[in-house]
């Protein structure tokens, strides 16, 4: 599952160009094949394959990067309404408006149009294995890293319990990303819930999770929970800014991923994100992958399904969203100057930042 650091092959200087050419070829091939394959029979047989099926097939085959991002944007109808209940007060919404929003996203945005490509399912056996694995074994295989003074390879930054308690999703999210190759998590609990703290205790005790029970200011001091203004944008950036710049400053990890609890990032074909990122882990490697999200709908669930999200929500959009999240080398985070990182939830490195090649692939 994990790549050992010593296994990496020596670097070749024109590797970047070859890789781009190869990738371009590899990405275009399915499209050309599809174009050839489809235009011909369709002319002959009319709608032998409906337009929607074609779109779904194309969506599942074509991907601009080696990293995927599934976004469980709706979940079941009940969960959607429960999660956004705060809007009833904050925005003066009523129940029917919330329901209308759900229906709009599900139907007009076609969030349950296609069968999900489902490549995330291959991490289920590893997640199951965690249950019978001892903590020392899990730690040794999935959370141990020590190279050039850095104790983590990929650190993910996450905020939870912003509106409602999210305990029921948290362990699935951590275990999934552990299975997919992330080894360390920095989590901000906006509500400082006892239940969250207790649930994470085995992880925090072993340094797998760093849990922040309060929102740190840029200098690392605590803003007490009851002094936070709900929905205050600039304050919401504080935690990300603090967490990301601390990792970059301390060089505690090589890569930083920024995600939400309903987002699942994983390698498209390789067995671990480490396999994708290790060859890029160097100053002239890819500095940031911006990964387009694939929105998943309710798949027809009305109430919370009795299984994990990645198993239950098997329907998604016909195409990837232009929006997404990023995973970047910690060393490419700008700490000063006009391009410094200020808490953007999507891009860790600005597109045109000088001296930084940010690649989207
Ligand atoms: C979090 O809650 C615990 C008690 O559950 C309390 O001792 C601690 O001071 C709280 N921290 C913050 C920052 O509110």
Tokens of 141: 């295989």
Residue 20 belongs to what domain range? Answer: 16-49
pLDDT band at 40 (very low <50, low <70, confident <90, very high): very low
Q: Which residue owns the Cα nearest ligand 1 atom 4?
A: 194
- CA 69 from centre of chain: 5
Answer with the one of 25, 49, 73 that is the final residue of a domain: 49
CA 99 to each of CA 94, 126, 243, 360: distance values in angstroms, whole numbers, following the listed order: 9, 36, 35, 36
pLDDT reported for residue 35: 57
Instruction: With cut-offs at 50, 70 and 90, classify the pLDDT of residue 16.
Output: very low
**Closest protein CA for atom 6 of ligand 1:** 192
Pick the atom of ligand 1 nearest to 226's CA. 14
Q: What is the mean pLDDT of residues 15-29?
A: 55
Residue 44's pLDDT band (boundaries 50, 70, 90)?
very low
pLDDT band with cut points at 50, 70 and 90 for residue 33: low
Q: Could you report the per-residue pLDDT of 284-332, keeping only the tens digit for each?
A: 899 999 999 999 999 999 999 999 999 999 999 999 998 999 999 999 9
Residues 265 and 132 grouped into a single domain: yes
Q: How far is the CA of 165 from the centre of ligand 1 (A)?
A: 16
- How many Cβ atoms from other residues are within 10 Å of residue 46's Cβ? 8
10 versus 309: the higher-pLDDT residue is: 309
Task: Specify if 293 maps to a domain.
Answer: yes
Q: Ligand 1 centre from 201 Cα, in Å? A: 15
pLDDT tens across 148-197, in order? 999 999 999 999 998 889 999 999 999 999 999 999 999 999 889 999 99
pLDDT tens for residues 263-280? Answer: 999 999 999 999 999 999
Is it the case that residue 359 has pLDDT exceeding 70? no
Q: Let me know if residue 361 belongs to a domain.
A: no
Residue 251 has pLDDT above 70, yes or no: yes
Q: pTM of the full predicted structure?
A: 0.84
For the segment 113-139, the average pLDDT, to the nearest whole number, is: 97
201 shares a domain with 324:
yes
pLDDT at 29: 63
Q: Is the pLDDT of residue 114 over 90?
A: yes
**CA 225 to ligand 1: nearest atom:** 14
Please check whether residue 71 lies inside any domain of the structure: no
Which residue's C-alpha comes closest to atom 5 of ligand 1?
Answer: 194
Give yes or no: residues 297 and 171 share one domain.
yes
Residue owning the nearest CA to atom 13 of ligand 1: 214
320 with 201, same domain?
A: yes
What is the structure's pLDDT at 85?
80
The pLDDT assigned to 5 comes to: 36
Q: Is 43 in the same domain as 139?
A: no
Pocket test for ligand 1, best of 165, 187, 213, 217 (most atoms within 8 A of CB): 213
- In a domain, residue 89? The reply is no
- Domain membership of residue 166 (yes or no) is yes
Sorting pLDDT into bands at 50, 70 and 90, what band is 219? confident
Please state, rounded to an integer, the average pLDDT across all residues of the chain: 84
Q: What is the dihedral of CA 172, 222, 204, 304, to 10 degrees?
A: -20
The pLDDT-based confidence of 94 (bands split at 50, 70, 90) is: confident
The verdict on residue 108 lying in a domain is no
Q: Tell me what pLDDT residue 320 has.
A: 92
Give the pLDDT mean for 245-251: 96
Q: Quick one: pLDDT band at residue 144, thresholds 50, 70, 90?
A: very high
Q: Do 131 and 247 have their domain in common?
A: yes
pLDDT in tens, 206-218: 999 999 988 887 6
How far does the centroid of ligand 1 lie from the alpha carbon of residue 247, in Å?
24
Please state, for a pLDDT cut of 70, what percent of the chain lies above it: 79
Together in a domain, 45 and 119? no
Amino acid 32: pLDDT: 58
d(CA 194, ligand 1 centre) in Å: 8
Question: Residue 192 C-alpha to ligand 1 middle, in angstroms?
Answer: 6
How many whole angstroms from 144 Cα to the centroid of ligand 1? 30
Quickly state the pLDDT bin for 2 (edges 50, 70, 90): very low
154 and 20 in a common domain: no
Q: Whose CA is nearest to atom 9 of ligand 1?
A: 213
Residue 269 within any structural domain of the chain? yes
Q: Which residue has the higher pLDDT, 51 or 27?
A: 51
How many helices (H) and strands (E) would you count in the chain?
A: 13, 12
Do 139 and 23 lie in a common domain? Answer: no
Say yes or no: 31 and 119 in one domain. no
Residue 2 domain flag: no
Ligand 1 site residues, Cβ closer than 6 angstroms: 192, 194, 213-214, 222, 224-225
Q: Note the pLDDT of residue 17.
A: 46
Give me ligand 1 centre to Cα 213, in Å: 7
Q: Is 163 found in the same domain as 31?
A: no
Distance from residue 228's CA to the centre of ligand 1 (Å):
14
Let me know whether 135 and 256 are in one domain.
Answer: yes
- Could you tell me where the DSSP H helices lie in 181-257? 194-199, 201-205, 233-250
Q: Is 156 exposed, middle or buried (0-12, 13-18, 19+ CB in 10 A)?
A: buried
Number of domains in the chain: 2
The length of the chain in residues reads: 361
d(CA 163, CA 170): 14
Candidate from 192, 217, 222 with most ligand 1 atoms within 8 A of CB, to mutate? 192
The tokens describing 55, both together, are 């779109």
- Which CATH number belongs to the domain containing residue 285 in this structure? 3.90.550
User: 119-129, pLDDT tens digit by residue?
Assistant: 999 999 999 99
């Amino acid at each position: 599952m994990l790549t050992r650091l010593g296994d990496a092959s020596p670097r070749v200087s024109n590797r970047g160009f070859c890789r781009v050419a190869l990738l371009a070829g590899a990405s275009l091939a399915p499209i050309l094949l599809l174009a050839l394959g489809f235009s011909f029979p369709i002319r002959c047989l009319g709608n032998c394959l409906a337009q929607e099926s074609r779109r779904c097939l194309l969506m599942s085959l074509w991907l601009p990067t080696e990293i995927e991002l599934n976004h469980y944007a709706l979940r079941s109808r009940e969960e959607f309404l429960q999660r956004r209940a705060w809007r009833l007060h904050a925005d003066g919404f009523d129940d029917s408006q919330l329901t209308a929003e759900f229906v709009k996203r599900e139907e007009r945005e076609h969030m349950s149009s296609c069968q999900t490509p489902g490549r995330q399912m291959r991490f289920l056996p590893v997640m199951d294995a965690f249950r019978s694995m001892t903590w020392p074994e899990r730690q040794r295989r999935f959370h141990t890293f020590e190279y050039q003074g850095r104790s983590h390879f990929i650190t993910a930054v996450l905020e939870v319990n912003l509106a409602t308690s999210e305990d029921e999703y948290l362990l699935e999210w951590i275990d999934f990303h552990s299975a997919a190759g992330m080894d360390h998590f920095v989590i901000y609990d906006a509500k400082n819930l006892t239940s969250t703290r207790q649930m994470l205790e085995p992880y925090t005790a072993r340094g797998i999770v760093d849990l922040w029970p309060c929102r740190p200011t840029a200098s690392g001091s605590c803003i007490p929970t009851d002094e936070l203004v709900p929905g205050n944008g600039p304050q919401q950036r504080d935690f990300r800014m603090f967490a990301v710049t601390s990792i970059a400053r301390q060089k505690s990890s090589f890569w930083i991923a920024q995600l939400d609890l309903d987002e699942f990032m994983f390698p498209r074909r390789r067995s671990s994100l480490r396999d994708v990122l290790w060859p890029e882990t160097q100053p002239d490697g890819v500095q940031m992958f911006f990964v387009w999200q694939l929105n998943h709908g309710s798949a027809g669930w009305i109430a919370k399904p009795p299984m994990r999200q990645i198993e239950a929500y098997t329907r998604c959009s016909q195409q990837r969203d232009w929006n997404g999240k990023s995973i970047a080398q910690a060393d490419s985070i700008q700490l000063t100057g006009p391009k410094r990182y200020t808490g953007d939830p999507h891009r860790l490195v600005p597109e045109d930042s000088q001296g930084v090649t940010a690649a989207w692939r």
